[in-house]
Amino acid sequence: MRRLQMAFVLAMILAAGVGPRASGTSGDRDDSRRVRGCTNETLQGTYGIQVQGTQPAGPGGPIESVIGVVMRDYDGLGQFTQVGNVKGSITGWVPDRVGGGTYDVAADCSAVVHLQPAPGIVLEERLIIVDDGREVRSATMLPPPVMATGVARRVHRD
């Protein structure tokens, strides 16, 4: 229950700070415009993501800083693949690491992602989708020692 509360608080903080409204509109204040909800189809195409944060350098190891860039392809149906270039301050860099996973978008334009960046490793991210799916803000929630955020921008729509 505490994790759910923390995820909700973080999602609210992210939603407040993203600029354009998270409802999928472009940010104008014309309330006469009909606001669309989001679906899995809202995330479709290739996104460039910049990530930063911290993670364990190994099982039970020290915490390291990480930075990176990722190209992620969402299929619009709840599946994605990606190629990441993430560098740890201790572990270094593994070029062009391939991964993939699943996602589920809620009508309020929040989403949950389950990413498997390597065998035996699963990360859970929470997303806020803005600007009709052209931009995404993310925070890694699980496992607890991983603390990373990301900003994604759609490169092209399939």
User: How many domains, the chain?
Assistant: 1
pLDDT at 6: 39
**pLDDT tier at 118 (50, 70, 90 boundaries)?**
confident
Q: Show the domain range for 24.
A: 2-156
Please identify which residue in the block is written with the tokens 């910049």: 50
With H, G, I as helix, E, B as strand and everything else as coil, classify residue 47.
strand
pLDDT at 29: 45
Share of the chain above pLDDT 90, in %: 68
CA angle 24-136-105, nearest 5°?
65
Please identify which residue in the block is written with the tokens 């070029």: 95
With H, G, I as helix, E, B as strand and everything else as coil, classify residue 6.
helix
Tell me what the mean pLDDT of segment 77-102 comes to: 95
pLDDT at 35: 57
Report how far Cα 57 is from the mean position of its chain's Cα atoms: 21
Task: Report pLDDT digits (tens) over 4-60.
Answer: 343 333 333 334 444 444 444 444 444 444 457 999 999 999 999 999 999 999 888
Q: Which two tokens stand for residue 97?
A: 């690491």
Judge whether residue 102 has pLDDT over 70.
yes
Contact yes or no for 14/137 (Cβ under 8 A): yes
**pLDDT tier at 96 (50, 70, 90 boundaries)?**
very high
- How far is it, in rounded angstroms, from Cα 89 to Cα 93? 9
Task: Report pLDDT digits (tens) over 67-82.
Answer: 999 999 999 999 999 9
Burial class (CB in 10 A: 0-12, 13-18, 19+), 72: buried
Mean pLDDT for the chain overall: 83
Query: CATH number for the domain including 43?
Result: 2.40.128.120
pLDDT at 2: 40
